[in-house]
Amino acid sequence: MIRLQLFGLATVAAVVLCSSPAHATGDKKNGRSLVYTCNGCHGVPGSSNAYPQYPVPKIAGQNEQYLLDALHAYKAGQRAHPTMTAQAQSLSDQEIEDIAAYLSSLAPAAPKDSDAQVKKAKDLLTQSDAGKLASKCVSCHGNDGTGTAPQFPRLAGQYNEYIQHVVHEYQNGERDNPIMKPQVSNLSPDDIKQLADYFSTLPTQLEKPDELSTLKGHVQGD
Ligand code: HEC
Ligand code: HEC
C-alpha cells in the first residue's frame, strides 16, 4: 500500500516535470489571428497616435523578448499608454506569448554582407556625423539596427518620428527606463533627428512588404 502510494507520487512528480517546459513557446498561428485586432492601428502605414501626434510604431518583425516585455509593461501599467494598456489587459499571458512568437517570426532575413546597401550603412556608421552618434547605440541596437539580443528593440526601419518622440520621452522621463535614460540624456534635438534619420533608413526593414500588404488587405476588408 505504502509502496503503491510512493509510486503514485513519483508518477505525479514525473508528469509535473514533463509538463512544465523551461520556456513556454507561443503558438504563431493563434498569434496571427489575434493580431488582426491590432492591425487597425499597427498595420496601416501612417496611422497616428492622436495627442500627442506621432506614428503608431511598426511591430511586425520586432524582436520577441522586447515584444513580451513591452506588452507586459503596458499590462502592468509600467509603460503608460491608456489604449495599449487596455489592449494588453484584454490578453492572457499565453496570448501575449502567441502574438510575440508570430510578430517576431515576420523578421526579414538579415541582408547579405555583399549587399551594397549594407556597405553603405557601414560606411555611414564610421564616416557620417549621424553614424558617429549612433556608434554609442550599436552595442545594444546592433550595427544593422536589428538588436544584438532579443530584449533590445529593432530600430532599423522604424518610423523616424516615432524614434524621435521616444528619445524625447526617455529624456524627460515620460517613458521611464533606467537603461535608456543615460544613453540619451546629453543629446540635442538636432542629434536626435540625425539618429532617427540614421536608424529609420537602415536597410533592414521591420516588416516584409508582402506581409504588410496582407495585413493591409485585412484592414481594408478585402
Ligand atoms: C487604437 C490603436 C492601437 C491598437 C488597436 C493597438 N495598438 Fe499597440 N500601440 C499603439 C500606439 C499609439 C503605441 C505607442 C504607445 C507608446 O508611445 O508607448 C503602441 C505600441 C505598441 C507596442 C510597443 C512598440 C514599441 O516599439 O515599443 C506594442 C508591442 C504594441 N503596441 C502591440 C499591440 C498589439 C499586440 C495590439 C493588439 C492586441 C495592439 N498593439 C493594438 C496603438 C494601438
Ligand atoms: C545598453 C543598451 C542600450 C544602448 C547602448 C542603447 N539602448 Fe536604446 N534601448 C535599450 C533597451 C533595453 C530598450 C527598451 C527600453 C524600454 O522598454 O523602454 C531601448 C529602447 C530604445 C528605443 C525605443 C524603441 C521602441 O520601439 O519603442 C529607442 C528609440 C532607442 N532605444 C534608441 C537608442 C539610441 C538612439 C541609442 C544611442 C544614443 C540607444 N538607444 C542606446 C537598450 C539600449
135-144 pLDDT, tens per residue? 899 999 988 8
Q: What is residue 50's predicted lDDT score, i.e. its pLDDT?
A: 81
Give the other-Cβ count within 10 Å of 177's Cβ.
16
Mutate to test the pocket of ligand 1, among 37, 41, 151 (most ligand atoms within 8 A of CB): 41
Q: What is residue 123's predicted lDDT score, i.e. its pLDDT?
A: 75
Angle (CA) 141-125-188 rounded to 5° is 75
Q: What is residue 22's predicted lDDT score, i.e. its pLDDT?
A: 44
Q: What percent of the chain has pLDDT over 70?
A: 74
Nearest CA among 117, 97, 101 for reference residue 205: 117
Q: What is residue 51's predicted lDDT score, i.e. its pLDDT?
A: 82
- Work out the average pLDDT over 154-170: 95
Q: What is residue 63's predicted lDDT score, i.e. its pLDDT?
A: 94
Asked if residue 81 has its Cβ within 6 Å of ligand 1, the reply is yes
183 — pLDDT class (breaks 50, 70, 90):
very high
Which cell goes with 183? 544613453
Residue 143 Cα to ligand 1 midpoint, Å, equals: 26
Mutate to test the pocket of ligand 1, among 84, 167, 168 (most ligand atoms within 8 A of CB): 84
Asked if residue 73 has its Cβ within 6 Å of ligand 1, the reply is no
Angle (CA) 17-18-20 rounded to 5° is 70
Give the pLDDT confidence of 65-120 residue by residue, as tens digits: 999 999 999 999 999 999 999 999 999 999 999 999 999 998 876 655 556 666 66
215 — pLDDT class (breaks 50, 70, 90):
very low
Cα separation, 61 vs 144, in Å, equals 14
Q: What is residue 205's predicted lDDT score, i.e. its pLDDT?
A: 56
Ligand that comes closest to the CA of residue 52: 1
Nearest CA to ligand 1 atom 14: 56
pLDDT of residue 17 exceeding 80, the answer is no
Of 174 and 19, the one with more pLDDT: 174
| Ligand 2 neighbours by CB, cut-off 6 Å | 57, 69, 136-137, 139-141, 152-153, 155, 163, 166-167, 175, 177, 179-180, 183-184, 195
Q: Which is the closest atom of ligand 1 to the Cα of 67?
A: 29
